[in-house]
Amino acid sequence: MRALIQRVSCGRVSVEERPLAEIGLGLVILLGISPDDGEEQVDYLTHKIANLRIFEDDQGKINRSVLDVDGEALVISQFTLYADTRKGRRPSFTRAAKPEVADPLVNAFAEKLSSEGVPTKTGQFGAHMLVEIHNDGPVTIWMER
């Protein structure tokens, strides 16, 4: 499981020019699922992300979590995080999980993150989405489990 986490001032996702979800201060999480992923990866990453201290405190130090700042999360499924570009010019996505494996795990991830105390919204699995990310900092963190 791979997560590209961005600290944002706001984030939005639309499908076919129709707004789907929007958050204010918080995290946009682009989430990739591999065929080997399961509940263990979901539990580990959601707990780690909910408590990851990447927001500034009163002294301007990066010392607060999304929970500490009452932030939100927007989770976007992104199989392209498993792109293999070692050969040729066209990426291979064979290391990404099939939709029947990935979709339930993306949903489990969003639900678990919410149960950690982070209000969580999602994109639409398998849809062509327009994702607006107002990266604050910029702060971008890569996590894998």
Give the per-residue pLDDT at 67: 98
* Known active-site residue 79: yes
Residue 131's Cβ-count burial label (10 Å; 0-12, 13-18, 19+) is: middle
Query: 38-93: per-residue pLDDT in tens?
Result: 999 999 999 999 999 999 999 999 999 999 999 999 999 999 999 999 999 999 99
d(CA 34, CA 41): 10
Sign of the alpha-carbon torsion through 77, 106, 46, 112: positive
Give the per-residue pLDDT at 12: 98
Q: How confident is the model at residue 135 (pLDDT cuts 50, 70, 90)?
A: very high
User: What domains sit in the chain, N to C, each tagged with a CATH number?
Assistant: 2-144 (3.50.80.10)
Of 79, 109, 120, 122, the catalytic one is 79
d(CA 49, CA 75): 12
- Predicted structure pTM score: 0.96
Task: Give the CA diameter of the chain.
Answer: 49
Of 78, 109, 120, 122, the catalytic one is 78
Query: 29-38: per-residue pLDDT in tens?
Result: 999 999 999 9
For the segment 2-11, the average pLDDT, to the nearest whole number, is 98
Query: 11-24: per-residue pLDDT in tens?
Result: 999 999 999 999 99
Judge contact between 48 and 115, C-beta under 8 A: no
* 3-state DSSP assignment of residue 118: coil
d(CA 120, CA 134): 17
